[in-house]
Structure formats: C-alpha cells, structure tokens
C-alpha cells in the first residue's frame, strides 16, 4: 500500500523542480511553486534557481559596464502563452576599475508564466544562456525541462524560496516609501535625489539608460536626518541622444524602480565633503616634485622645440653688459612663470565651469596648432634671411631711447614661448604634481604651476646668477651664421612636427590649406616693393583666414601606421580579456606627445618589448588622445592622471593594473608584464 501511494504521488513530488545543470561555477534548475495546474488557472509561478560557487557572480538585467544578463528561450514549450522574468535588486561589484551589477551565492529569478489553455498541463522547455565570472568569465548555455500536470497542490518549500527573492524585486513608486524626486544629466555625470519616510541606512543607485550609457561608482550622500538622498554617478560613456531613464534605488531589504522625468539643473548636494588638507611637509614635497618635473622637462624630447629658442636667448646676450644679461635672463624666466600662471588661471576657470582638463590639452586644438605653426614658420624664415622682422620706425626710435631695455620684451616672449612648446611632454614627478594641482585647492594649483615654472626656467635663472658664463661663448664671427642656420633648421623641424600633429587633429585638408597660407604669408612678407599698409593688411588677412579654416573645417585624420598590431582602446574589453587569462598593455598616446613618441621608438617598438607585446596571450591596446576624447579623459581621471604618456598593464594577477612611469624602460615594461601574468586567485567580477 505504501509503495502504491509513493508511485502515485511521485510525479507530483518531482513536478516542482526540473533536473539540475551543474558545473564548477554554478548549479541551475527550474522550479515551480505549483505541483499541478489547478482547474481554470491561467498563470503559474516559477523560478530560475541559480546556486553560484564561492567567488562566482551572475549578472542583473542591466549588468553595468560589462557583462551579460541571463536569458531564457522557451521555444518547444507546450501550453505556454507568455513569460516574464523578474529581477531581484542587485548588488554592486567593482574590479578592473569597472562597476558591475549582479548576484552572488544564490539567487532565484522569479518567472511569471501565462498559459494558453487554463487548467491544462504544461510542458516547459527552457534554453538558458548566462555568463558567470570570477577571476575568469565563463558563458553557459544549457536546457532545462519541467512538466507540470493538471492537479492541485503547492510546494511550500519552493513557494517560500521564490517568495523570498520576489520580495527583493524593487517596488513600483506607488508601493514604496522611497520617492525619486529629480534626475539631471550633465556632460560628466548623472545627479539624482530621493526622499524617504524612513532614514536611509546603506543606499545604492543603479541607473539604466541603454547599452551606450555607462556610469562609474556613485558619490552618495544623505541629509542629517537621513531621509534625503543625493547621488552623483560619473558618466563614463554616452550616446548623443538622451533617452528615458530607469532608476533603481536600494537600501538594504527595500528597493524601488522608477522612471523620473529629467530636471533642467542638477541638484546641489546636501553637504560638502570635507577633504583633509595637506600639511606643510606634503605641500613642500609636492612643490619639490613639480620643480623636478619642470627641470627634467629641459632634458626631455620636447627640448627640440625649445632648444633653438633657448640658444637664441643665450646668443642675444653675448655682447651685452653683465647687468643687461642678468635682466634679460630674469625676464625670460619671468616669461616662463607668466605662462605657468596663465595656465593655472585657465585651469581654475575651467574647473569652475565644470570642464575636463589635463596637461598639454591645448595641442588638441587645431586653431592653437595653426597659430604656433605660423609663428615658427615666420621665425624660421627670418633666421634663414628670407626677410627681417622689424618694428615700426616710430616704435624703434622710442625703444632706442630706452637704451639696454629694448630687448627685455623679446626676452620675456622667448621664455613664454619656450614654456608653451614644452607642455606636450610629461616627465617623472610631473604626473604626481599635476594630479595634485588638478584635484586640490586653488592655492595648490598655483603652488604646483609656480614650482613647475621655476624648474623649467632654471637654465635662465642660472645665467642670471652667473651672467659671465655668456662670455665663455666664442667671439662673434662666421660661426654665428652657421648657428643661425642651425637654429632655423631646428625651428623648421619643429614646424614640421606641429604640421604633422595638426594633421592628426584636423585632417589633411586643413593641413594643406594652412601650409599654403603660411607660404603665402612668407612670400608677401618678403616682397620688397609692397607698400607697408598693403603688406600689413595682407598678412593679417592671411592669418585670420588660416585661423578660421583650422577652427571650422576639421576633417577625418589620416590613419597612422605602426610596426605594432595595436587593438583599439575599449575600456569594457579589458576585464573580458583578462578573464580569458590574457594580459592587456594599455598605451594612452597622442601625436603631440613627444615623450610618447620617444617611449614608442626607444622601448615599445624595439626588442625585447616589441616581441613580447606580440605574444599570443598579450593584447597591446592603444588609446589615441590626439583629438579630444571624453572616454579617454575619464579613464585617465579614474587613475588620478591628467596627462600623458600613460601606460598600465592588466592581467590575472593585476585586475586593477600595474602602473608604469611616464618614461618607459624595457626592464620596467617586462617586469610589469610578468607581474600581471603571474597566477594568483582573484575574485574580481
């Protein structure tokens, strides 16, 4: 009798669960609250039960920056009209500097099934695809089947399990005591506010705006009472069109999902975060770093654009008195410092306007490059004797009456111009100092740029302290003509480099036009019989036309060729590649960054590094910052860097990356690759 009862009840006892799919990462099964389909019942409550091994995670419906959510294909099922997969509130996981949303340990995704024929048996065939991640990511694709006969009865254990996770599904706004009150999208961030009748304890925010919008870790603040919430999420990537926002706010066991309307202006935070101010020794150390960075800039590859300018400055003082020499070099040093102070003022102004800034970014501006190119062309033509640059006669007479002071304005301009052309380079110590300046107080910014200017101006200051050193130069003679031609050649090479940079920023058409206008400028300036008024009007017109062309007619840049097979930079690809056991070498570079070019020529494109980067398990990834790119800017900012070169190595043993110095060496790159490749268990998501 007992045997007969067990045989009759066996189908009902096992109808609440499908067979399991199991491997090293997870165990999955399809479960049903109902043991049977009762007469006239139209819906059933199911669940996809996922038990994840230690250290493994699965994704939410919106996985964050990378990942894939679970999907179910019901093709082949019988008596199934529709199904809806429901999503318990997720948790946030961070690895590789990337934010992901999902689940760990165990999760049941409730499923609401609608039957074609109420009360009739149902046969479910579910093809499940999902991605699980630990230190590697593994895709899964498996089938689960579940037959539920006609009958009555509820599996109380399954019902309790499904209910437990169903209670974690975010509530509708009308059923929650959390009210999302505003949402505003700026160029850099999403800002939201919410209120609650119950004080927030551990809130989190999960925005959904489609696959083209990704956000970083939120800055979440609550009011003194805890009943008001303000959150700012940095925008990592975006689409041009702003669509609807679906926002989930969680707080422990409670959660709400709503679609708030967009606000015109972002809300102010309930309070400002008080940041610990650096002490005197920290300020001194940062000032020393900035000074050393500026000093080293004098010996960097960017010395080429400024070498001839500094040499010309020394030559100009060869036949002057000690007093005049000292004054001239002090004015050159002041020119360097003045440019740095202008740069600091610009940084503070841009920060106040909420704009992204960095070291050397003026070289991403085609108008700036055009102006610098034309100035260098004019200077080079003058050194080659094509024409003489002279001031109006009235001004010359006035300066002549001033005696030795006549060259001070030129000395000042020499220093400022040298500082401008030195900014495309980075150097050891400079990255730390610039990061401090761009993230600190106004006084920190001024201190860093002043110290940087003093380091860059040190050669001028040394000649000012020891003006007699100028007399060590040989006596005037034919050798000065040779020096003049050498300086002209150096300026010509610098102008060619700027033209090449302009091609990467603005395209070949702008380069051709600017080059042609510059040739016309030199030709008109050299014509001896052209009236002065006509000459000035023509030169001003050509300069204005070149500026307008560079500002308004940017085209696609010419593709660069390289001996390395570089993958295009994609931040979201890094964790996927590392999860496959690969090592990723990221190189952020630009045409205008001479230190980057030196690193490439001396290290990255030479053996043994070049061979290592082509290994099967290494992916060299290059980010071209020649043109402005917000994604690259934000990527640098996540590493507290605001200038380039920037090189970092990710791998199974270095999910957060091994950061390299601005100046690369073969040994340093090889050590970083080996460190990132070492086997070590990590639980990154």
Whole-number pLDDT of residue 605: 87
pLDDT at 222 over 80: yes
The DSSP result for 113-167, as a single string, is EE-SSTTS-EEEEEEEEEEEESSSEEEEEEEEEEEE-B---B-HHHHHHHHHHHT
Helix (H) or strand (E) holding 621: strand 618-624
Identify the residue with better confidence: 374 or 436: 374
Mean pLDDT on 422-439 = 60
pLDDT at 276 over 60: no
* 303 — pLDDT class (breaks 50, 70, 90): low
* 391 — pLDDT class (breaks 50, 70, 90): very low
* Report field, pTM of the whole predicted structure over 0.85: no
* C-alpha to C-alpha distance for 655 and 681, rounded to whole angstroms: 11
pLDDT at 558 over 60: no
Whole-number pLDDT of residue 545: 78
Identify the residue with better confidence: 633 or 681: 633
pLDDT at 378 over 60: yes
DSSP 458: H
Whole-number pLDDT of residue 460: 84
Mean pLDDT on 442-465 = 84
Do the bridges between strand 21-22 and strand 26-32 make them parallel or antiparallel, or are there none, so unpaired?
antiparallel
Question: Of 593, 602, 599, which is closest to residue 624 (Cα–Cα)?
Answer: 593
Q: What Å distances lie between residue 259 and 87, 268, 527, 566, CA to CA?
A: 16, 21, 69, 41
Identify the residue with better confidence: 303 or 418: 418
CB 585 within 8 A of CB 618: yes
Backbone angles phi, psi at 589, to 5 degrees: -140, 175
Identify the residue with better confidence: 389 or 46: 46
Dihedral sign, Cα of residue 632, residue 637, residue 643, residue 649: negative
Partnered with residue 101 across adjacent β-strands are 92
Q: Which of 147-151, 372-376, 608-612, 617-621 has the lowest mean pLDDT?
A: 372-376
pLDDT at 528 over 60: yes
3-state secondary structure of 648: strand
Cis status, amide bond into 645, omega within 30 of 0? yes
Q: What is the rounded (10 degree) CA torsion for 549, 552, 553, 559?
A: 110
End-to-end distance of the chain based on CA atoms, in angstroms? Answer: 54
Tens of pLDDT, residue by residue over 170-182, are 999 999 999 999 9
Question: For residue 42, what are its two tokens?
Answer: 């139209």
Identify the residue with better confidence: 439 or 333: 333
Mean pLDDT of the chain: 78
* 590 — pLDDT class (breaks 50, 70, 90): confident
Whole-number pLDDT of residue 428: 57
Whole-number pLDDT of residue 477: 56
pLDDT at 685 over 70: no
Tens of pLDDT, residue by residue over 229-238, are 999 988 877 7
Q: What is the rounded (10 degree) CA torsion for 349, 351, 356, 358?
A: 70
Mean pLDDT on 558-567 = 63
Max mean pLDDT range (348-352, 392-396, 437-441, 504-508)? 504-508
Mean pLDDT on 254-264 = 91
Tens of pLDDT, residue by residue over 114-169, are 999 999 999 999 999 998 887 677 889 999 999 999 888 888 889 999 999 999 99
Identify the residue with better confidence: 126 or 428: 126
The DSSP result for 517-570, as a single string, is HHHHHHHHHH-TTS-HHHHHHHHHHHHHHHHHHHHH---PPPPP--SS-PEEP-
Whole-number pLDDT of residue 414: 75
* 474 — pLDDT class (breaks 50, 70, 90): low
Q: What Å distances lie between residue 101 and 54, 232, 461, CA to CA?
A: 17, 17, 56
* C-alpha to C-alpha distance for 364 and 509, rounded to whole angstroms: 17
Identify the residue with better confidence: 436 or 404: 436
Question: For residue 387, what are its two tokens?
Answer: 């024409």
* 396 — pLDDT class (breaks 50, 70, 90): very low
Whole-number pLDDT of residue 103: 94
Whole-number pLDDT of residue 678: 60
Tens of pLDDT, residue by residue over 85-106, are 999 999 998 765 567 899 999 9
3-state secondary structure of 199: coil
Do the bridges between strand 646-651 and strand 654-659 make them parallel or antiparallel, or are there none, so unpaired?
antiparallel
Mean pLDDT on 281-310 = 71
Identify the residue with better confidence: 398 or 476: 476
* C-alpha to C-alpha distance for 74 and 111, rounded to whole angstroms: 12
Whole-number pLDDT of residue 342: 85
* C-alpha to C-alpha distance for 126 and 50, rounded to whole angstroms: 14
* C-alpha to C-alpha distance for 274 and 221, rounded to whole angstroms: 13
Whole-number pLDDT of residue 680: 44
pLDDT at 529 over 80: no
DSSP 278: P
Tens of pLDDT, residue by residue over 15-53, are 478 899 999 889 999 999 998 899 989 999 999 999 999
DSSP 251: E
3-state secondary structure of 181: strand
Write the burial class of residue 443 (CB in 10 Å: 0-12 exposed, 13-18 middle, 19+ buried).
exposed
pLDDT at 533 over 70: no
Tens of pLDDT, residue by residue over 479-525, are 666 766 776 777 787 788 778 877 777 777 788 888 888 887 777 77
Whole-number pLDDT of residue 91: 92
Percent of the chain with pLDDT over 70: 76
Whole-number pLDDT of residue 182: 92
* C-alpha to C-alpha distance for 520 and 517, rounded to whole angstroms: 5
């Amino acid at each position: 009798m007992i045997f007969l009862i067990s045989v009759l009840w066996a189908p009902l006892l096992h109808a609440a669960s499908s067979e399991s799919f199991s491997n090293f990462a997870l165990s999955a099964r399809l479960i049903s609250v109902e043991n049977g389909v009762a007469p006239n019942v139209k819906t059933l409550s199911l669940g996809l039960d996922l038990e994840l091994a230690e250290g493994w995670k699965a994704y939410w419906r919106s996985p964050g920056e990378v990942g894939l959510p679970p999907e179910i294909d019901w093709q082949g099922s019988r008596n199934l009209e529709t199904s809806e997969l429901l999503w318990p509130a997720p948790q946030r996981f961070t690895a590789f500097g990337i934010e992901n949303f999902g689940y760990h340990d165990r999760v049941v995704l409730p499923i609401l099934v609608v039957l074609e024929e109420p009360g009739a048996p149902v046969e479910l065939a579910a093809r499940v695809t999902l991605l699980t991640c630990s230190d590697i990511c593994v895709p899964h694709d498996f089938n689960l089947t579940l037959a539920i006969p006609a009958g009555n009865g509820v599996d109380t254990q399954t019902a309790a399990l499904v209910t437990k996770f169903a209670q974690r599904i975010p509530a509708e706004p009308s059923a929650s005591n959390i009210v999302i009150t505003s949402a505003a999208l700026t160029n850099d961030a999403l800002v939201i506010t919410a209120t609650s009748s119950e004080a927030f304890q551990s809130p989190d925010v999960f925005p959904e705006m489609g696959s083209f919008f990704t956000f970083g870790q939120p800055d979440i603040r609550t009011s003194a009472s805890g009943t008001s919430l303000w959150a700012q999420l940095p925008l990592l990537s975006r689409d041009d069109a702003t669509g609807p926002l679906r926002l989930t706010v969680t707080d422990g066991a409670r959660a709400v999902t709503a679609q708030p309307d967009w606000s015109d202006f972002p809300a102010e935070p309930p309070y400002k975060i008080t940041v610990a101010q650096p002490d005197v020794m920290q300020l001194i150390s940062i000032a020393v770093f900035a000074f050393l960075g500026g000093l080293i800039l004098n010996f960097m590859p960017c010395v080429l654009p400024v070498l001839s300018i500094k040499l010309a400055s020394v030559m100009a003082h060869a036949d002057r008195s000690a007093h005049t020499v000292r004054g001239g070099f002090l004015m050159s040093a002041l020119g360097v410092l003045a440019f740095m102070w202008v740069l600091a003022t610009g940084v503070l102004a841009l920060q106040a306007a909420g704009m992204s800034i960095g070291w050397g970014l003026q070289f991403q501006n085609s108008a700036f490059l055009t102006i610098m190119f034309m100035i260098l062309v004019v200077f080079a033509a003058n050194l080659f004797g094509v024409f003489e640059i002279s001031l109006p006669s009235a001004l010359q007479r006035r300066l002549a009456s001033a005696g030795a002071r006549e060259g001070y304005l030129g000395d000042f301009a020499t220093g400022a111009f040298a500082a401008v052309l030195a900014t495309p380079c980075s150097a050891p110590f400079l990255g730390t100092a610039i990061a401090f300046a761009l993230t600190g107080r106004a006084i920190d910014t001024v201190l860093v740029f002043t110290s940087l200017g003093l380091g860059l101006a040190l050669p001028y200051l040394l000649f000012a302290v020891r003006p007699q050193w100028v007399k060590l130069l040989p006596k005037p003679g034919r050798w000065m003509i040779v020096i003049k031609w050498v300086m002209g050649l150096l300026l010509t090479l610098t102008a060619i480099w700027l033209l090449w940079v302009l091609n990467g920023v603005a395209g070949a058409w702008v380069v051709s036009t600017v080059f042609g206008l510059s040739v016309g400028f030199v030709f008109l300036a050299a014509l001896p019989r052209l009236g002065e008024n006509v000459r000035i009007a023509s030169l001003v017109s050509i300069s204005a036309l070149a500026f307008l062309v560079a500002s308004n007619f940017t085209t696609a840049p010419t593709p660069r060729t390289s001996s390395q097979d570089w993958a295009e930079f994609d931040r979201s690809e890094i964790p996927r590649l590392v999860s496959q056991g690969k090592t990723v070498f990221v190189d952020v570079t630009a045409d205008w960054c001479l230190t980057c070019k030196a690193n490439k020529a001396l290290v990255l494109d030479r053996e043994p590094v070049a061979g290592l980067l082509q290994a099967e398990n290494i992916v060299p990834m290059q980010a071209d910052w020649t043109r402005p790119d917000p994604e690259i800017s934000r990527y640098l900012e996540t590493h507290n860097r605001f200038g380039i070169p920037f090189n970092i190595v990710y791998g199974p043993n270095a999910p957060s990356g091994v950061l390299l110095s601005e100046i690369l060496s073969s040994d340093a790159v090889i050590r970083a690759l080996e460190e990132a490749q070492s086997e070590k268990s990590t639980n990154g998501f």
